[in-house]
Structure 1
Amino acid sequence: MNKYRIHPIVVGSKRFDKGMMTYQQGYGQHCIIPIYCWYLEGGDKKIIVDTGEMQPIISKDREADLGGRIYSFEDGLARFGLKPEDIDIVIHTHLHNDHCENDYKCTNANFYVHRNELESIHNPHPLDFRYLEDYVEDVEEAGQVVALDGDCEVVPGIRMMHTPAHTPGGMTVLVDTRGGLAAITGFCVINENFYPPAEVLGMEMDVIPPGTSVNTYEAYDILIKVKDMADILIPLHEPSFARMDTVEGT
């Protein structure tokens, strides 16, 4: 079985209230989070997870806050000798706009995404403004979308697991690496969601659900499940990965 290396590529960032990440915690605290595309190096296919922002803000102050470079999608892939048209497979954690804005550039890729996300992006709930169907129409019309109804093995060593914590079709990406099983979460969280501070642990909470979720109780249970199964946890917006070339685990 192939063993993959996971390379984080920062292709955007957001400044907002920390409570957007940590349910009922951190409100009023300002934070900056990176938006990633993840290159899964190994095997005979060129595979990435999510495509990030089309026009990321690239500034010295944001890069200083993150501790790492911010790239355009093209420049980020070029670090690994790749162009968007070289990508064979795009795996989507979900279809909020900041995870799929560059899809149309990957003209030769198959896009793996849960069917619930496709339904949501075309008919979003009024509470969820992050779905914008314009970003997926090109790849849908080109017949590039592989719609999933549940868990799926994409290629040997890479699986997708349905984890509807943050969105109805959220998919956690499970990757075999030399350091063990890595989980790129299918929901928007940071390290603190999995490793809460003492005051939260004192409330008998072992994890903190995402700041926005489909069902908070179920989201809590999903985070516990992912935390227990993974050797290497990769919260989808954790800032520390912006300073890494490869996620090796701890």
Structure 2
Amino acid sequence: MTQFRIHPIVMGTKIFDKSMMTYQYGAGERYTIPIYCWYLEGGEQKILVDTGEMNPIQSEDREAAIGGKIYTFEEGLDRWGLKPEEIDIVIHTHLHNDHCENDYKCVNARFFIHSKELETIHAPHPLDFRYLEDYIDEIEANDQIERISADREIVPGIEVIHTPAHTAGGLTVMVSTSAGQAAITGFCVIMENFEPPKEIRAMEMDVIPPGTHVNVYEAYDWMVRVKDRADILIPLHEPCFAGVDTIP
């Protein structure tokens, strides 16, 4: 089986209350999260997970907060000798705007997206304000989307599993690496969600659900399943990867 190296590329940030990541914990704490695009290097195809923000704020204070450099889409890909038009596959964890704003630049890519995400982005509930269909209009018009309806292999060494914790169509991307199976989570969390502090563990909680979720009980259970399955956990917004070139 093909083994991949995972390259985290920061393509944006958000500053908000920490409890947006950690359900009922960390309220009132100002927290900066990185927004990533992940380049999966290995095999014959050039593969990304998510595409990040279109116009990220690039500032010293935000880079200091996350511990790494913030790139535009083109700058980030160029670090690995890539151009947007050279991308063959994009796998979407979900379609909140900060994960898909650069889709239209990948004119030759196939986009793997869960069907429930596509349903939601076109008919969002008022609470689903993070969905903006403008960001996928072009790839839909160009027939670049392949709908996912069940767990499946994308290419040898890369599998997606449906994990409806953060959104109804969330996909966790399982990647074969030299150090085992890495899980790029299909829900927006940080490492603290998977490794809670002692005061949370004292309440017999093994994980902290994401602050934004479809059903908090099911989100908790999905997190436990992903944690049990993965050798390497890659939470979508964990700052420690901002200064890392390659996983593992």
Pair in the same fold by TM > 0.5:
yes
- For the residue of structure 1 that corresponds to 2:242, the secondary structure is helix
Q: Aligned pair 1:184/2:184, yes or no? A: yes
Report the equivalent of 1:92.
Answer: 92
SS in 2 for 1:98: helix
Moved more, 132-141 or 60-69: 60-69
Whole-angstrom distance in 1 between the partners of 2:225 and 2:132: 30
Could you list the runs of 5+ residues in structure 1 that have no partner in the other structure? none
CA displacement at 1:125 relative to structure 2:
1.2
Corresponding residue for 1:133?
133
Residue 117 of structure 2 is matched in structure 1 by 117
Q: Within 2, Cα distance between the matches of 1:230 and 1:190?
A: 15
Distance of 1:52 and 1:124 partners within structure 2: 20
Give the aligned partner of residue 199 of structure 1.
199
Shift of 1:157: 0.1
Q: Which whole-Å CA distance do the structure 2 matches of 1:31 and 1:139 have between them?
A: 33
Name the aligned partner's letter for residue 132 of structure 1. L
TM superposition shift of 1:241: 0.1
Q: Deviations over 1:74-118 (max 9, x none)?
A: 000000100000000000000000000000000000000000000
> Who is 2:28 aligned against?
28
Which amino acid counterpart does residue 146 of structure 2 have in structure 1?
V
Local SS of the residue matching 1:228: helix
* 1:122 positional shift: 0.5
Q: Could you say what secondary structure the match of 1:243 adopts?
A: coil
Supply the distance in 1 between the matched residues of 2:65 and 2:200 (Cα, whole angstroms).
26
Other structure's SS at 2:124 match: coil
Residue aligning to 1:4: 4
Aligned equivalents of 1:125, 1:234: Cα separation in 2: 29
Runs of 4+ in 1 over 2 A off after TM superposition: none
Structure 1 partner of 2:65: 65
Query: Map of 1:158-169 to 2, 5 A cutoff?
Result: 158-169=158-169
Task: Name the aligned partner's letter for residue 15 of structure 2.
Answer: R
What is the Cα deviation at residue 57 of structure 1? 0.1
Give 1:152 deviation, angstroms.
Answer: 1.5
Matched with 1:77 is: 77
RMSD: 0.4
Alignment partners' CA distance in 2, 1:162 and 1:22? 21
Determine if the alignment matches structure 1 residue 223 to structure 2 residue 223. yes
Calculate the TM-score normalised by the size of structure 2: 0.99
Q: TM-score, normalised by structure 1?
A: 0.99
* Matched ranges for 1:139-158 at <5 A: 139-158=139-158
- 2:43 maps to a residue whose letter is G
Q: How far has the Cα of 1:144 moved from its partner?
A: 0.1
**Alignment coverage as a number of residue pairs:** 248
